[in-house]
Structure formats: structure tokens, C-alpha cells
Amino acid sequence: MTSSSQICVARIGAPHGVRGAVKLWTFTEDPLAVRRYGPLVTKDGARQFELTSAREAKGHLVATLKGVVSREEAERLNGLELYVARDRLPATSDDEFYHADLIGLAALTTANEPLGRVVAIHNFGAGDIIEIAPPHGATMLLPFTNAVVPSVDLPGGRVVIELPEEIEGDTPEDAGTSTP
């Protein structure tokens, strides 16, 4: 299984209790959906985990993994991301997509000018962020909202980005200056 055919659906957090349970942070619309996908694997495919139980807690799941029976074993898994094959996920409707489907798409302005490529979708806790890598220079991190990303064209291989005015007008010469 290649990394492009895998979708990260969860991340193992800190242990919960002393019998090997873990906090499980899911990246699915329905947090308990991870139980339906079968075994979850690490990004490199070297390790596989089967959920034996999962229940909802405040903002995460409390899960037990087959073969993990002690707090010490659970501690060693903290931070591990879990993936599932893309084809095991439910199909999306025409106006829906998985974030992973956007990676590699061309990013264009509303004036159809190229910005670069989508390299990642992040969520640091305050909402989704789209990362665009231009051909040269530093990547751009923009809020992934309908106002900033008004359209996604998967068949056309592109996303349209509405740049905020303060970013559009900035040039290297303008950096660090302001107008009253």
C-alpha cells in the first residue's frame, strides 16, 4: 500500500488507565466510524492495530487495541498516526471530498493565476489550514474556509484560492511597512 492510497483517520494519544486503553483522536466525521474500517496501520505499514473497543469521551475516544494490555505498552504508542486504505472509506458525493484528495492539486487565484500546489491540510485545533507551496519561496498557510477556498475542482485537478487583500498587495518591498 502506498502512502498516496492511505488516509490518516486517527492518532493515538496518552494512555487511559492501567490496562492498555488509549485516548484516540479521530479525524472522521463520525468518531466511531474508525471501528468499521478494519485494522488500522501505521504510515509505513509496518504495524497493524485492531480496535477491540471504543467509546466516546470528551473530544476523543477511549479505545483498546488488540494485544495492548498494559499502560507501558500504551505509552509507547502515544503520537502514532493510524491509516486506512482509501478504498475502504465511504464514497463521497459530488460536492464532498477527503482532505487527502486535495494534496497535489494546483492552487489558482480567483483570477486564474497560479499560486502553487496544495501540500497539506493541517488542523492545529482552531480549524483547518490549507498549505500552498509556490514554485519558489515559502509556503502559504491559509484558513480553509469557504471564503478563502471558494471552489474545489477534483476532476480538473485544482482548488481556487481567494487571497485576503493584505496578502495580495504585499511585495517584498512592502514587508515591514504600513500605511496609516
Question: What residue type is 175 in one-letter code?
Answer: A
The Cα 72–Cα 75 span in angstroms is 5
Q: Inform me whether the pLDDT recorded for 180 exceeds 50.
A: no
Rounded to whole angstroms, the Cα distance separating 43 from 2 reads: 9
The model's pLDDT over 99-157, given as tens digits with 9 standing for 90+, comes to 888 999 999 999 999 999 999 998 877 889 999 999 999 999 999 998 899 999 999 99
Instruction: Please tell me the predicted confidence (pLDDT) of residue 71.
Output: 97
CATH number of 3-88: 2.40.30.60
Dihedrals phi, psi of 148, to nearest 5 degrees: -90, -35
Confidence band for 173, pLDDT divided at 50, 70 and 90: very low
**Grid cell digits, residue 26:** 479521530
Q: What is the pLDDT of residues 32-64, one digit of tens each?
A: 999 999 999 999 999 999 999 999 999 899 999
- CA–CA dist 158, 142 (Å, integer): 16
Helix (H, G, I), strand (E, B) or coil at 126: coil
Instruction: Indicate the domain borders of the chain.
Output: 3-88, 99-165
Helix or strand or coil: residue 89? coil
CATH 3.90.1150.140 given to domain 99-165:
no
Taking only Cα atoms into account, the Rg of the chain, rounded to an integer number of angstroms, comes to 20
Pairing of strands 114-123, 21-26: unpaired
State yes or no: pLDDT of 25 exceeds 60.
yes
Indicate whether 159 pLDDT > 90. yes
Q: Residue 135 corresponds to which amino acid? A: P
Decide if pLDDT at 13 tops 80.
Answer: yes
CB-CB contact of 120 with 131 (8 Å): yes
pLDDT in tens, 63-74: 999 999 999 999
Mean pLDDT of 79-98: 89
State the pLDDT at residue 90.
Answer: 87
- Res 141: pLDDT: 94
Q: Locate 84 and state its grid cell.
A: 486506512
Q: Quick one: which of 103, 108, 91 has its CA closest to 149? A: 108
Query: What is the model's pLDDT at position 5?
Result: 81
pLDDT for residue 79: 95
